Amino acid sequence: MKQRTRALLAGAATVLLFVLVQAGALALVEPFERYQTIEDPTNPLNSVLYIGLLLVATAVMLAVIKYGKQQAIRYVIIATGALVTYYVFSVVGGALAGGGAAALVVLGLLVYPEWYVIDATGVVMGMGAAALFGVSFGVLPALILLVGLAVYDAISVYRTKHMLTLAEGVMDLNVPILFVVPTRLDYSFRDDSTPGAAGDDDDGERDALFIGLGDAVMPTILVASAAFFLDADAILGVPIPALTAAAGTLVGLVVLLREVLAGEAHAGLPLLNGGAILGYLVGALFAGVPLDVALGIADYL
């Protein structure tokens, strides 16, 4: 199969992974209401606090990488994946199903972290995390969060470049911090010693596409928040602005994939979050939602 065709198929598979995360998050928002722990989810300071915590967590991870203790990050991520998996499956099949699924995640990631294990776990983690944040962040906090993270992502990739350092430091841990989409059938993520360096084989052809799990989760927070908090016309029970936010994310993803396939490292959230926000606003206006309500500022006017 020609290189371009393989790359296009991998791009289509990446879009499918994002759709699965979005659809799963939308299905989970109602049952995940039980996990809403923030006293006032409409408070925009929640977003400021979360971004601050993210900066601290990033600094800690960079320090851990600097001192060669990456395995500690691996175990934290595996534990987090197991916890989110438990949340997801427990609302579907009860505590026993949740515990069993969580145990399978831990076993798979520790024993055989191949790309399909990473991706399957990533989809479950992504839909669960997006739903958790979606029910915890009202529309205004979600919008602020997406804008702030898009700016931070651009700075950390293009200016300080510490996000690239962080990515290189954790790529070899074989944990679901990213989606791995092979472009050839014989590709093995476990046997790829430098997956984050170029993603190319000896012939200069790309072995796989790599895109951060956070790139799927962050814009989907707005999708889930709009579905949970916004009162608007709906299609199949989902508010139109939530659906158009999801569509906008996918448009941003297609643009991002074009840039990635050109061989350059790019900040994903400016395109993905920007697409989600633009799609959300277009859908809100189409559904007749007043702009101040769509932005979540009606109570402040």
At 10-39, the pLDDT tens digits run 999 999 999 999 999 999 999 999 888 788
* Tokens of residue 41, six digits: 């989810």
Query: Which H, E and C letters describe the chain, residue by residue?
Result: CCHHHHHHHHHHHHHHHHHHHHHHHHHHCCHHHHHCCCCCCCCCHHHHHHHHHHHHHHHHHHHHHHCCCHHHHHHHHHHHHHHHHHHHHHHHHHHHHHHHHHHHHHHHHHHCCCHHHHHHHHHHHHHHHHHHHHHHCCHHHHHHHHHHHHHHHHHHHHHCCHHHHHHHHHHHHCCCCEEEEECCCCCCCCCCCCCCCCCECCCCCECEEEEEHHHHHHHHHHHHHHHHHCCCCEECCEEHHHHHHHHHHHHHHHHHHHHHHCCCCCCCHHHHHHHHHHHHHHHHHHCCCCHHHHCCCHHHC
For 10-19, 20-29, 46-55, 275-284, which range has the lowest pLDDT when averaged over its residues?
46-55
Nearest CA to 151 among 40, 47, 248?
47
At 138-181, the pLDDT tens digits run 999 999 999 999 999 999 888 888 777 777 777 778 888 899 99
Average pLDDT along the chain: 88
pLDDT band at 264 (very low <50, low <70, confident <90, very high): low
Residue 202, pLDDT score: 46
Prediction pTM value:
0.90
Percent above pLDDT 90 for the chain: 58
pLDDT band at 70 (very low <50, low <70, confident <90, very high): confident
Mean pLDDT to the nearest integer, 270-277: 96
Residue 1, pLDDT score: 54
Size of the chain, expressed as the number of residues it contains: 301
